[in-house]
Amino acid sequence: MYILGIETSCDETAAAVIKGDRGNIKVLSNVVSSQIDIHKKYGGVVPEVAAREHVTQILPVIHETLETAGIQAPLSRDARSGGGAGGGGIQAIAVTIGPGLITSLIVGIETAKVLSYAWDIPVIGINHIEGHIYANFVGRRQPACAGRSSDFPALILTVSGGHTMLVLIENHGKYKTIGETRDDAAGEAFDKAASLLNLGYPGGPIISKYAEKYKLQITNPTCADRRQSAITLPRPMLDKGGFDFSFSGLKTALLYAIQQDKNFKKRVPEYAHEFQQAIIDVLIHKTIQAAQKYNIKTVMLSGGVAANTELRKQLKSAVKKQIPKSQFLIPDLKYTTDNAAMIATAGYYHALWKDYTDWQKLKVNCNLEL
Tell me the sheet residues that pair with 158: 165, 302
Amino acid (1-letter code) at residue 109 = I
Residue whose C-alpha is closest to residue 312's, from 322, 301, 298: 301
Rounded-to-integer distance, Cα 280 and Cα 55, Å: 37
Pick the closer one to ligand KG4 by CB: 121 or 305. 305
Q: Residue 190: which of ligand KG4, Zn ion, none does it interact with, CB under 5 to 8 A by kind? A: ligand KG4
Pick the closer one to ligand KG4 by CB: 181 or 337. 337
Tell me the sheet residues that pair with 328: 299
Q: Residue 307: which of Zn ion, ligand KG4, none does it interact with, CB under 5 to 8 A by kind? A: ligand KG4
CB of 333 to Zn ion, least distance (A): 14
Q: Which of residues 117-176 bind Zn ion (CB under 5 A)?
A: 160
Pick the closer one to ligand KG4 by CB: 44 or 139. 44
Burial class of 134 by CB neighbour count within 10 A (0 to 12, 13 to 18, 19+): buried
Contact at 8 Å (CB) between 330 and 320?
no
- Counting Cα atoms < 13 Å in the Cβ hemisphere of 69 gives 29
Pick the closer one to Zn ion by CB: 159 or 257. 159
Q: Which of residues 316-355 bind ligand KG4 (CB under 6 A)?
A: 337-338
Q: Residue 139: which of Zn ion, ligand KG4, none does it interact with, CB under 5 to 8 A by kind? A: none
| Backbone φ, ψ for residue 95 (5° rounding) | -135, 145
7, 130, 191, 274: which one binds ligand KG4 (CB under 6 A): 191
Rounded-to-integer distance, Cα 100 and Cα 104, Å: 8
Pick the closer one to ligand KG4 by CB: 125 or 204. 204
Q: Which residues bind ligand KG4 (CB under 6 A)?
A: 10, 160-162, 187-188, 190-191, 202-205, 208, 303-305, 307-308, 337-338
